Chains A and B, each alone.
Chain A
């Protein structure tokens, strides 16, 4: 398995509270991604990073922010969690942008009550 660790694995939080999810990689890959998985929608890209301090929005970025201060860490922050953000969040990494496959972490299940 690619060296990707997501933390926490499970989290329950209340509406309106801030939440930060962490993704840590040991592969020294340039690209890192945050996806959310919801039934019937597959995986949808939230944000991605193509280098330290270089990030860009995906298709469902509203309500989320990210930061990448080191190659190995990519943080996803929900500034004020809402029930619509209840989901399973996956981090992924890839060596480059085009034909390299993505390698996924095992996910974080977030419940916003």
Chain B
């Protein structure tokens, strides 16, 4: 079985400040890792993913996440946030032996002017 823990349910931050959204997972096998973003009244959209190779992955809108196998973490970071980044962010894990994508409880990022 696999599980995902997002340590913060809400993260308030001022515009242009850096932010880190934390994600830890547990799994007995190798995993694929994902971050999804959900804007109000919409479905989830893929933000970035780690499948293999470089442990640092980036999105087109300035977010990055680093896969840390020893700490079983996949934290999401952005050096300078915008108001438009206000959304809920979900970390998810999928084992390389299964069909199921398991989600964390979500972190609501609130960017204030």
Question: Which B16-69 residues sit within 8 Å CB-CB of chain A?
Answer: 32, 34, 36, 41-46, 49, 51
The closest CB in chain B to the CB of A90 belongs to B43
With A48-B99, A104-B43, A106-B42 already in contact, 9 other A-B pairs whose C-beta atoms are closer than 8 Å = A4-B43, A40-B9, A41-B105, A42-B90, A42-B104, A43-B103, A59-B100, A92-B44, A107-B43
Judged by a CB distance under 8 angstroms, whether B96 is at the interface is: yes
Q: Kindly provide the distance from the CB of B33 to the nearest chain A CB, expressed in whole angstroms.
A: 10
The closest CB in chain B to the CB of A50 belongs to B99
Judged by a CB distance under 8 angstroms, whether A58 is at the interface is: yes
Whether the Cβ atoms of B44 and A45 lie closer than 8 Å is: no
Question: Which A23-68 residues sit within 8 Å CB-CB of chain B?
Answer: 31, 33, 35, 40-45, 48, 50, 56, 58-59
Count the A residues whose beta carbon is within 8 Å of the partner chain — how many?
A: 27
Question: Which B79-113 residues sit within 8 Å CB-CB of chain A?
Answer: 90, 94, 96, 98-106
Residues on A with C-beta less than 8 A from B45 are 104
In the bound complex, how far is the Cα of B102 from the Cα of A99, in angstroms? 13
Judged by a CB distance under 8 angstroms, whether A97 is at the interface is: yes
Whether the Cβ atoms of A42 and B9 lie closer than 8 Å is: no
Residues on B with C-beta less than 8 A from A105 are 43
* Contact of A43 (CB < 8 Å), options: B9, B41, B44, B51: B44
Residues on A with C-beta less than 8 A from B44 are 43, 90, 92, 102, 104
Max count, chain A CB within 10 A of own CB: residue among B4, B43, B90, B96: B43
Nearest first, the 9 closest Cβ-Cβ pairs linking A and B are A104-B43, A42-B103, A43-B103, A42-B105, A97-B99, A101-B46, A104-B44, A99-B51, A106-B43
The closest CB in chain A to the CB of B52 belongs to A99
Judged by a CB distance under 8 angstroms, whether A84 is at the interface is: no
The closest CB in chain A to the CB of B105 belongs to A42
Whether the Cβ atoms of A45 and B32 lie closer than 8 Å is: no
The closest CB in chain A to the CB of B108 belongs to A39
In the bound complex, how far is the Cα of B45 from the Cα of A92, in angstroms? 11
Question: Contact string, A61-85, partner B, CB cutoff 8 A, digits 1/0?
Answer: 0000000000000000000000000
